[in-house]
C-alpha cells in the first residue's frame, strides 16, 4: 500500500486512466461487433457506417497509445477485406 501522498494520488490517477482506456477500447470493440452483426444480416449501409466508426475508434486508440498501431492496422485490414468480399458477393449475385 502506498504511504506517500504522491503515491496515493498516482493510484487514483492510474485507476481513472485505466477506466478511460478500457472505455475507449470497449467502444472500438463494440463497433467491430456491430459491423459483424450487420455483415451477418447483409445490411450494407449499416456495415459501412460501423466500419467507419470502428476504423476511427481504432485509430483513436492508437493515438492514445491504448493499442499498438500494427494491431489496429491488422483489425482494420481484416474488416476492410470482409467488406470488400461482401461487395464482390453482392455484385456476383446481381450479375
65-76 pLDDT, tens digit each: 999 999 999 999
Is residue 28 classed exposed, middle or buried when 0-12, 13-18 and 19+ CB atoms within 10 A define those classes?
Answer: buried
30-55 pLDDT, tens digit each: 999 999 999 999 999 999 999 999 99
| 3-state SS string for 29-89 | HHHHHHHHHHHHHCCHHHHHHHHHHHHHHHHHHHHCCCCCHHHHHHHHHHHHHHHHHHHHH
Domain of 23? Answer: 3-92
Q: What is the CATH number of the domain that holds 87?
A: 1.20.58.110
CB count in 10 Å sphere of residue 61: 22
pTM of the shown model = 0.86
Structural domains counted in the chain:
1
- Residue 55's pLDDT is 97
Amino acid at each position: 500500500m502506498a504511504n506517500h501522498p504522491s503515491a496515493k494520488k498516482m493510484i487514483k490517477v492510474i485507476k481513472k486512466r485505466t477506466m478511460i482506456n478500457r472505455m475507449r477500447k470497449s467502444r472500438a470493440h463494440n463497433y467491430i461487433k456491430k459491423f459483424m452483426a450487420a455483415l451477418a444480416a447483409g445490411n450494407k449501409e449499416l456495415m459501412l457506417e460501423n466500419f467507419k466508426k470502428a476504423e476511427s475508434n481504432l485509430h483513436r486508440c492508437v493515438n492514445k497509445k491504448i493499442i499498438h498501431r500494427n494491431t489496429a492496422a491488422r483489425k482494420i485490414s481484416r474488416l476492410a477485406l470482409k467488406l470488400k468480399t461482401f461487395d464482390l458477393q453482392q455484385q456476383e449475385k446481381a450479375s
